[in-house]
Amino acid sequence: MLTVTQYQRGLAHYYGCYKGKIDGKAGPATKAAVKKFQKLRGLVQDGKYGPKTNAELVAVVKLIQAIVGVKQDGKCGPTTVAAIKAKQKAWGLVQDGICGPKFWGRYNGNGAATASGGSSAHFRKSEFKCKCGGRYCNGYPAGNTNAKLLNILEKIRAHYGRPVNIRSGQRCNRHNAQVGGNKNSSHKKGKAADIYIKGVCDTAAGRKQVVQLAYKYGAKYSYANTRQMGTSVHINV
């Protein structure tokens, strides 16, 4: 759990939820800030800084840290704040160190801009190649892998700060049938990926968390923990 000082800092730099002094005291202003954060993140709004709120704030700060390129420890200290300001400067935004609507709009917009031609900042087009090995198709039956899917994968990658392994991307009709895929599988449309993240997808709870993140970042459907999926998580848009 973050200390009161630490979470006051996190809340101050995420949408400016907290506007008071960083004094380490969980007074009314801090409780109001916790409530505001809970509302923004779709949590129960009780104003109490419990384990769920803590986990969410740590995840949010880690994502911010991944975006601005500093160590992801979930604590919004001076290094993180300086990096947020530097990113705001680079993006032509007011350098107030607060990740508000413009910061997130720019981040999401950037994601969309970078994912094009079937690749993105951290994913090569070839990682999504059909695994029939050229027997039944040229590897890209759907052409380019969907940009929205790539953006979701980028965000999941940023959340954990770890590489995301694509176990199955595009599939041609015959390969899809061979692996027992649904006849209308989104893999055939370049809109699905079965992924594995080392150190995350090794447990059922970890896979469940990836599914939840996928939905949070805009997936149409995601599932894991079936016998067929093994340690992979399916995500489609």
- Applying CB under 5 A, the residues found at the interface with Zn ion are 130, 132, 136-137, 172, 175
**Contact present, 62 and 156 (Cβ < 8 Å):** no
The tokens of 226 are what? Answer: 């079936």
Nearer to Zn ion, 175 or 207 (CB): 175
The Cα 199–Cα 176 span in angstroms is 28
- Nearest approach, Cβ of 179 to Zn ion (angstroms)? 10
The Cα 205–Cα 196 span in angstroms is 13
Residues 6 or more apart whose CB falls under 8 angstroms from that of 101 comprise 15
Q: In degrees rounded to 5, what are phi and psi of residue 107?
A: -60, -50
- Quote the radius of gyration of the chain (alpha carbons, Å): 20
The Cα 84–Cα 80 span in angstroms is 6
- Nearest approach, Cβ of 175 to Zn ion (angstroms)? 4
Nearer to Zn ion, 3 or 126 (CB): 126
**Contact present, 187 and 232 (Cβ < 8 Å):** no
Nearer to Zn ion, 151 or 185 (CB): 185
- Nearest approach, Cβ of 168 to Zn ion (angstroms)? 11
Nearer to Zn ion, 140 or 196 (CB): 140
Nearer to Zn ion, 178 or 225 (CB): 178
- Nearest approach, Cβ of 130 to Zn ion (angstroms)? 3
- Nearest approach, Cβ of 177 to Zn ion (angstroms)? 10
